[in-house]
Amino acid sequence: MKHLSLLFCLLLAGLFSFSQVENYDLSKYKLPDIKRQQMDFDFQSGGQSSSSKYFSYYPNYSDTIKDVNNRFTGNYNLGYLFYRNSKNIQSSISARTYGYYNKTKQDNINYSSQDNYTFQNNVSLNYDLKYFLTPTNWFIATAPYYAFSFYNYKEHESDLEYKSLYNSVKISIGGGKGRIEQVQDFRHAILLIEELDKRGVSTRNISEAEMIELSTLISQLKNKRFFDSRKQKVVELVALDSFFVDKGIIDNKSIQYFTGLEDIWTYGGLQIRESGKQVLFSIAPGYSFDKNLEDDENNINENMLMNYNLSFVSKNPITIKWQGNYGCGLNHEYLKRLQQQNSSLGEKNYESIAFIDGEVSYYPNTRTDFSLISKVSLSNIGDEKILEKEKYGAHLQISTTGYYYISEKLRAGYSLSFYTSKYGIFNIELDNTYYKTLYYSFNLNYAIF
């Protein structure tokens, strides 16, 4: 009961603490010039091959039994990641190709015979670029997207075979004003200094300029490419230790200092924080093609689409512990079906959405966090024209999550989400048409002894 009361007081206190001003303003931090790229290749293969032959004798029955069991599997993943942040550019690239192969051949008296194989290959490319026209913070944005997939399945004993090919390409072009920065490295620096103070190894107060210098070092270390995680930890801790010693922040290198430094460095930067406001308008034409290679007729899904988006988003680190985000926007998509396997679908489809959303998050320490998210939207989906009076829908979504590190022995987490929709809100014939769903989960961990 005591723990539940403490949790209630913690949440209640948070509702009235927005006006609290802390020493450091996270929104002042700007990421340094960073360029990071990495490419990794993973391959895994496994298999099993076994066979046996023996004579089995039963009353009134005898036979030579053969068992054959062969299986071969393999998968690969080749990925490329690129991230860049500078005064004029924020960009990221993600390119990936992956696939798997499975072949099974089994002939066993106790089981049905199998002789089949499966092969699938996928390729995807995402590129997000914002070029800023400083010092006005107007920007030009582009975001190309491409996806390819090939799938093949075959059963030899039944001559069943299925092949399919899928392609999708889209490019978003637009622009807007405003810039959003990731500022969790500044909070990470604050948590490191607080830990040194708690352990009594800090010799003096640190200025805000030094805090920003430490944050810049943290951002650079986190975006440095390493190939060995054990060596990475050594290089990072040595760099942090050199900073604290050179600045005269610590002078007693006890085991308390090093364990505190390692703990906060590992776990103090996992909670993402952002700062800034941004308005974005974009137009994204797209094309998708899906073909069943086994059928000669009516085997293609081919679509052209055009997406329009106008949105505003605000990321506000209210204090070191509180984050408040909100946004609103309009989105419209026009889809033209050039070819369809399902002949009952219409030639066109229009989907329009207007939304407002908000999020409040609370991070009292590196082990505990709470968030409350809500979204209200109005939609219209139709086949005849852009907006059809009979096809408006209203939607509400509210969700909250939390993880509470009550003590070393007791920890609790929860997730709660409620979603409701009312369709045909301007159509009296659809008064009782609605959808509701409630999802929750709760976990409790208690170490008895």
- Residue range 315-371, pLDDT digits in tens: 999 999 999 999 999 999 999 999 888 877 888 999 999 999 999 999 999 999 999
What's the CA gap between 412 and 401, in Å, rounded?
A: 11
Q: Are 123 and 151 in contact (CB under 8 A)?
A: no
> Is the predicted pLDDT of residue 7 greater than 70, yes or no?
no
Lowest mean pLDDT among 31-45, 166-180, 209-223, 286-300: 286-300
Nearest to 131 by CA among 91, 183, 171: 91
Reported pTM: 0.82
For 407, which DSSP code?
A: S
Which residues, other chains included, contact 143 with Cβ-Cβ below 8 Å and sequence gap of 6+?
A: 126, 127, 128, 129, 171, 172, 282, 284
Instruction: Give CATH for domain 373-449.
Output: 2.20.200
Measured from the Cβ of residue 351, the count of other Cβ atoms closer than 10 Å reads 16
Q: Of 161, 162, 165, which Cα lies nearest the Cα of 147?
A: 165
Which class for 101: exposed (0-12), middle (13-18), buried (19 or more C-beta within 10 A)? middle
Per DSSP, the three-state class of 363 is coil
Q: What is the pLDDT of residues 204-258, one digit of tens each?
A: 888 889 999 999 999 999 999 999 988 999 999 999 999 999 999 987 778 888 9
Q: Average of pLDDT values for 81-102?
A: 96
Burial level of 201, CB count in 10 A (0-12/13-18/19+)? buried
* Residue 112, pLDDT above cutoff 80: no
- The pLDDT of 283-309, averaged and rounded, is 91
- Separation of alpha carbons 69 and 270, rounded Å: 47
| 394-442 pLDDT tens trace | 999 999 999 999 999 999 999 999 999 998 888 777 666 889 999 999 9
Domain ranges of the chain: 184-267, 373-449
